[in-house]
Amino acid sequence: MKIKAAVLYETGKARPYTESKPLQIEEVYLSAPLRDEVLVKIYAAGICHSDLSVIDGSRPRPLPMLIGHEAAGEVVECGAGVNDLKPGDRVVFSFVPACGHCIPCMTGRPALCEPGAAANANGVLLNGGVRLKNASLRDLQHHLGVSAFAEYAVVSRRSLIKINKDISYPVAALFGCAVLTGVGVVINTAKLNAGQTILIVGLGGVGLAALLGALAGGAATIITADINADKRTAALTMGAHYVIDPAAPEAVQKVKDITGGGVDIAVEFAGVVNALEFAYASTKRGGITVSAGLPHPSVSFTLSPTLLVGEERTLKGSYLGSCIPARDIPAFIALHQSGRLPVEQLLSHTIRLDEINEGFERLAAGAAMRQIVSFA
């Protein structure tokens, strides 16, 4: 079938993206689903910094690629072997397809699925296939097994989580990345306990979702940090107790003054080394620092083993919020529907597919929280 989609042919184009237009809107060919695959009509897709990292070249991926990985839609057709979904079911995409058979999957860590990671790195579906071609019949690689910036997608059954119908598509899409990662980092990776103090560094859609997760999890003191003043204001509006400019002099000391020595937990989503250094320095003795940011692979981080050992600090990475999507997406949606996780506050813009380059320029300029491409 022919579908309209946003295709990336070249990375590293100069900003503003409104002029260089890194994403080309064109008709592409989408093959029918094969065994263990599903055809989904996409109704909403979120614009995430991980997509921007592919566009600007920070996260190298095989090209050309149909990007986008945070989305929600409706099942249209199921391939052979798919018996637990049917046309009309609502689904959220998970950007790590979990095979269910490798050691990480069998030990409850599907975010680290080995075949899923290999497929994502190679720009293919979990079974190694490619279902997209452009008008010249050139293969278009899949982004994280999803390729959400399109009217339809064919994906592995292992990339989909069935959800109930009592939630709008734009809000449902947020649970595929922003909420899954942000709330997951706080609850699953850092294991926030009620009454603890937390610092959240980087206030994009994922960082603000982490703020909502910290509120839902009962954090006693929530400090948020971003160099963007508008984002700091947004964090206060959404419930943060304190906001800090991490580039300001004595920013670390300010955190320590507020908390009496440093936070129990610091989480970093900015994807830059300075932000991670600030987060790590702001934790107390015995504190936990978690990074979910993804800077360029060439970037490194230096720390003192003496502090790490002598103060029993913990530094951890988190991917997919250390989540089990089949468990956590429905659980987080239930929290939202109970009023305890108001993720609709993350939505700042709704745009059309042909406005997607404007959306990425807005994201790169720090002028948006979560933007949704609507196909309704």
- Altogether, the residues listed in the chain come to a count of 376
What is the structure's pLDDT at 194?
Answer: 97
- Extents of the domains making up the chain: 2-176+342-374, 182-319
**Is the pLDDT confidence value at 294 over 90?**
no
Q: What are phi and psi of 64, to 5 degrees?
A: -70, 155
> Cα 178 vs. chain centroid, distance in angstroms?
4
Asked whether 276 and 254 are in contact (CB, 8 A), the reply is no
3-class secondary-structure state, position 122: helix
Q: What pLDDT, in 10s, does the model give residues 206-253?
A: 999 999 999 999 999 999 999 999 999 999 999 999 999 999 999 999
**CATH of region 182-319:** 3.40.50.720
- Cross-strand bridge partners of residue 242: 223
Highest CATH level, class, for 2-176+342-374: alpha beta
Overall average pLDDT of the 93-111 stretch: 97
What pLDDT is recorded for position 298? 86
What kind and span of H or E run contains 225? strand 221-225
Q: What pLDDT is recorded for position 296?
A: 80
Instruction: Supply φ then ψ for residue 229, to 5 degrees.
Output: -65, -35
Mean pLDDT along residues 336-342 = 97
Query: Would you place residue 203 in the very low, low, confident or very high pLDDT band (cuts 50, 70, 90)?
Result: very high
Q: Containing H/E element for 119?
A: helix 114-122
pLDDT, tens digit (0-9, with 9 covering 90-100), for 250-290: 999 999 999 999 999 999 999 999 999 999 999 999 999 99
Using an 8 Å Cβ cutoff, are 33 and 274 in contact?
no
Share of the chain above pLDDT 70, in %: 100
Confidence (pLDDT) at 376: 82
Whether the CB-CB separation of 66 and 132 falls below 8 Å is answered with: yes
Neighbours of 128 (CB within 10 A): 10
3 state SS for 331-349 = HHHHHHHCCCCCHHHHEEE
Q: What is the pLDDT of residue 184?
A: 98
| CB half-sphere exposure, 263, CA atoms < 13 A | 30
pLDDT band at 331 (very low <50, low <70, confident <90, very high): very high
In one-letter notation, the amino acid at residue 107 is T
In the predicted model, what is the mean pLDDT of the chain?
97
Check whether 295 has a pLDDT greater than 90.
no
C-alpha angle with apex 155: 63 to 111, nearest 5 degrees?
Answer: 85
Beta bridge partners of 154: 39
d(CA 242, CA 292): 21
Phi, psi of 37 (to 5 degrees): -120, 160
pLDDT at 208: 98
How far apart CA 172 and CA 168 sit, in angstroms, is 6
Q: How many CB atoms lie within 10 A of CB 180?
A: 29
Q: What does each C-alpha distance from 352 to 27, 38, 46, 74, 358 come to in angstroms? A: 15, 24, 11, 19, 10
Is residue 299 very low, low, confident or very high in pLDDT (cuts 50, 70, 90)?
Answer: confident
CA-to-CA dists, residue 35 to 105, 120, 124, 148, 171, angstroms? 21, 19, 15, 21, 30
Q: Which of 25, 94, 73, 23 is nearest to 52 (CA)?
A: 23
Span 146-158, mean pLDDT? Answer: 98
Instruction: Report the percent of the chain where pLDDT is more than 90.
Output: 96
Start-to-end CA span in the chain (Å): 19
pLDDT score at 345? 97
